[in-house]
A and B are shown apart, each in its own frame.
Chain A
């Protein structure tokens, strides 16, 4: 292969890559034309979610969780197992183990006001238990729910207040 051939083949590759990218991006925009129209009508200005799809409790990060904790009005709910809870949890958090068959009753027994701010968390990282529990509590009628995504691992690592035991 001569130098010119090589240069030509690279030019062809770049051209095809650009074409491939543009065509598939155009297909994407065409398929989503409904979203685009809604966007130009002024939807999605506050949050990228359709009203019907936003039933899930909002996810919050460490600073938000720490703020709610500092204000002191929020109820923290630990969705992990009793053993994990006893080994350490966010100070003042109540344990409602998701996989306990009686978790709904445990939750009711806490007698949390329906107006209260509730923050649900689990181990952190990739755990989904907090979201699943929050959805369940939400179906029971509580509205001011939040899921703290970082969970126990992040809270503990950040040196925020924790306690042990029941």
Chain B
């Protein structure tokens, strides 16, 4: 338990960093992201449109909260669900033989391929570890909790 605890801050920075980066790039160009979603040919056009406007902000928020360690477990839960969704989507894409860019990082995106799937699984693993609620002394959650417990001077 203690051993895993040491890695939780690292996991938060990695998962949070990826979410923040991916989120901000899409916040800056929502229409490009809408085209990426559409390219997967899974969502109807209106869904692709509204997802493209809303999703990047959720990603960004999760990223910031994870990096700070504030509400880290709820943020990790959202992140895990997103990653699960991405994994299903990319797996379906690979199975159907559709050749699309993953659309995850704007113009930096790679193909939606097996490598991306592995990356997502690694991120999901880290995210689930954060969600499970190991001690994380560096997180803002615990810093604030410690401050609250300290008797008034």
Q: Do A and B bind each other?
A: yes
Query: Is B48 on the interface with A (CB-CB < 8 A)?
Result: yes
Q: What residues of A have a CB within 8 angstroms of the CB of B38 in the complex?
A: 48
CB contacts under 8 Å to A, within B29-86, are 30-32, 34-35, 38, 45, 48-50, 52-58, 60-62, 65, 71, 73-75, 77-78, 81
Q: What residues of A have a CB within 8 angstroms of the CB of B131 in the complex?
A: 13
Total CB contacts across the A-B interface at under 8 A: 86
Give which listed residue, A29, A44, A47, contacts B54 with CB less than 8 A: A29
Beta-carbon contact of B56 and A28 below 8 Å? yes
Q: How far is the CA of A24 from the CA of B60 in the complex (A)?
A: 9
Query: Is A14 on the interface with B (CB-CB < 8 A)?
Result: yes
Give which listed residue, B31, B34, B78, contacts A20 with CB less than 8 A: B78
Q: How far is the CA of A3 from the CA of B106 in the complex (A)?
A: 44
Q: Pick the interface stretch among A31-39, A74-82, A134-142.
A: A31-39
Beta-carbon contact of A35 and B53 below 8 Å? yes
Q: What residues of B have a CB within 8 angstroms of the CB of A16 in the complex?
A: 71, 73-74
Q: How far is the CA of A140 from the CA of B106 in the complex (A)?
A: 27
Q: For the side of the interface on B, what is the size category?
A: 35 or more
Query: Is A27 on the interface with B (CB-CB < 8 A)?
Result: yes
Beta-carbon contact of B53 and A48 below 8 Å? no
Give which listed residue, B57, B62, B99, contacts A27 with CB less than 8 A: B57
Q: How far is the CA of A13 from the CA of B62 in the complex (A)?
A: 14
Kindly supply a per-residue 1/0 record for chain A positions 42-63, scoring 1 wherever the CB is within 8 Å of any chain B CB and 0 otherwise.
0011011110010000000110
Q: Name the prevailing secondary structure of the B interface residues.
A: helix
Beta-carbon contact of A47 and B35 below 8 Å? yes
Q: How far is the CA of A27 from the CA of B55 in the complex (A)?
A: 10
Beta-carbon contact of A28 and B58 below 8 Å? yes
Q: How far is the CA of A16 from the CA of B45 in the complex (A)?
A: 29
Q: How far is the CA of A19 from the CA of B58 in the complex (A)?
A: 11
Beta-carbon contact of A25 and B58 below 8 Å? yes
Residues of chain B touching chain A, judged by Cβ–Cβ distance below 8 Å, are 27, 30-32, 34-35, 38, 45, 48-50, 52-58, 60-62, 65, 71, 73-75, 77-78, 81, 99, 101, 107, 110-111, 131, 133
Given contacts A44-B49, A45-B45, 14 further A-B contacts (CB under 8 A): A20-B61, A20-B62, A20-B75, A28-B57, A29-B53, A31-B57, A32-B53, A35-B49, A35-B53, A44-B34, A48-B38, A48-B48, A48-B52, A149-B101
